[in-house]
C-alpha cells in the first residue's frame, strides 16, 4: 500500500491544499489532514475514507460523540478529539454568520436562525439564556444546563445570575428537543412560568421561550403562551 509520503507531491492532502486550493480536495482528503497519520498497514487517506463510509457521509460523522469515534473506529482519543473540534467549529461558524451584535432582535425567527445550526443535531437537551440589552441587541448567550435525551435541570438562580452579571434588560430562554417534537412539554410550561415570576421580582423581563427541534422552532410568544 502506497503511503502518503510516497504519493506525488501535489496529490498529498496538505500539499494539494496549498498548490490547488482547498476546494479541490475530496472529503476524505480533508479528513486526512485532520487525522494527520494513518494506522498500521493503512494510509491516512484510506483511514479517512473508511471513517466517512462507516457513517455514510459527513453529516452523520459530524454528530458522533468522542467515545463513538474512538471506540467504533479505534482511531484513538487524539484523532477523535480533533474531528469533534473541527465539526463543532463548523457549527459555530454557521451560527455566527447570522449573529450580528449590532442587530436588533425583532422576532423569534432571528434567534432561531442563530441557534438551529448549533442545536439541530444535538442528542442531549441543552438549555440557554440569551441576554438582551434595552434596545434588544444580544449581549451574550450562555449554556446553563446539559441534560439527557428528554430533559435538563435548570434553576432560575443560574439563569438570572448570568443576566445580572451582563446587565441584561431582558432575556430569552431557549432549549432544544432532540426528539424532534416541537410542542412544549408540561415541564417546559411550568418552568417558563417560574422564570417569568422570578423575572418580575428582579425587574428582568422574560421575552420568550424558544424550543429548537431539528431545523424548526417553536416560540411560546408566537403560540400566545407568554
DSSP three-state, residue 203: coil
Query: Residue 159: enclosing H or E segment and its boundaries?
Result: helix 156-165
Has residue 11 got a pLDDT over 60? Answer: no
> Are 194 and 157 a contacting pair, CB within 8 Å?
no
DSSP letters spanning 91-120: HHHHHHHT--TTSBP-SHHHHHHHHHHHHT
**What pLDDT is attached to residue 220?**
97
Q: What residues pair up with 58 in beta bridges, in sequence order?
A: none
Report which of residues 74 and 170 the model is more confident about. Answer: 170
Q: How far apart are CA 130 and CA 141, in angstroms?
A: 4
* Assigned CATH topology for domain 99-219: Cytidine Deaminase; domain 2 (3.40.140)
pLDDT value at residue 3: 55
Over residues 123-176, the pLDDT tens digits come to 889 999 999 999 999 988 999 998 865 556 788 899 999 999 999 999 999 999
Pairing of β 170-176 and β 205-213: parallel
pLDDT for 125: 92
Structure confidence at residue 2 (pLDDT): 46
Q: What is the pLDDT of residue 103?
A: 74
Question: Residue 183: which pLDDT band, with cuts at 50, 70 and 90?
Answer: very high
Q: What is the mean pLDDT of the chain?
A: 86
Cα–Cα distance measured from residue 57 to residue 173, given in angstroms and rounded to the nearest whole number: 33
Q: CA-CA distance, 164 to 142, in Å (whole number)? A: 13
Distance CA 63, CA 117 (A): 12
Phi-psi region of 204 (alpha: psi -120 to 50; beta: other; left: phi over 0): beta
Rounded Cα gap, residues 141 and 163, in angstroms? 9
Residue 10's pLDDT is 45
Output the pTM of the full model.
0.65
Does 85 have pLDDT greater than 80?
A: yes
Query: What is d(CA 4, CA 46) in angstroms, rounded to the nearest whole number?
Result: 10
Amino acid at each position: 500500500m502506497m503511503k502518503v509520503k510516497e504519493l506525488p507531491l501535489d496529490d498529498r492532502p496538505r500539499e494539494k491544499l496549498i498548490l490547488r486550493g482547498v476546494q479541490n480536495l475530496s472529503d476524505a482528503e480533508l479528513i486526512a489532514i485532520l487525522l494527520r497519520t494513518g494506522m498500521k498497514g493503512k494510509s491516512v487517506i484510506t483511514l479517512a475514507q473508511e471513517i466517512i463510509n462507516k457513517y455514510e457521509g459527513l453529516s452523520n460523522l459530524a454528530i458522533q460523540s468522542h467515545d463513538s469515534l474512538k471506540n467504533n473506529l479505534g482511531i484513538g482519543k487524539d484523532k477523535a478529539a480533533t474531528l469533534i473540534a473541527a465539526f463543532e467549529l463548523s457549527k459555530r461558524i454557521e451560527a455566527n454568520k447570522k449573529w450580528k451584535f449590532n442587530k436588533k432582535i425583532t422576532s423569534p425567527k432571528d434567534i432561531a436562525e442563530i441557534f438551529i445550526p448549533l442545536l439541530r443535531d444535538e442528542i442531549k437537551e441543552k438549555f440557554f439564556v440569551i441576554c438582551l440589552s434595552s434596545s434588544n441587541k444580544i449581549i451574550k448567550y450562555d449554556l446553563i444546563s446539559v441534560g439527557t435525551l428528554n430533559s435538563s435541570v435548570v434553576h432560575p438562580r443560574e439563569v438570572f445570575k448570568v443576566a445580572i452579571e451582563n446587565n441584561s434588560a431582558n432575556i430569552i430562554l431557549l432549549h432544544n428537543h432532540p426528539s424532534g417534537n416541537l410542542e412544549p412539554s408540561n415541564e417546559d410550561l411550568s418552568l417558563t412560568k417560574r422564570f417569568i415570576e422570578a423575572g418580575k421580582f428582579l425587574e428582568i423581563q422574560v421575552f420568550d421561550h424558544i424550543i429548537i427541534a431539528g431545523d424548526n422552532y417553536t416560540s411560546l410568544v408566537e403560540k400566545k403562551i407568554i
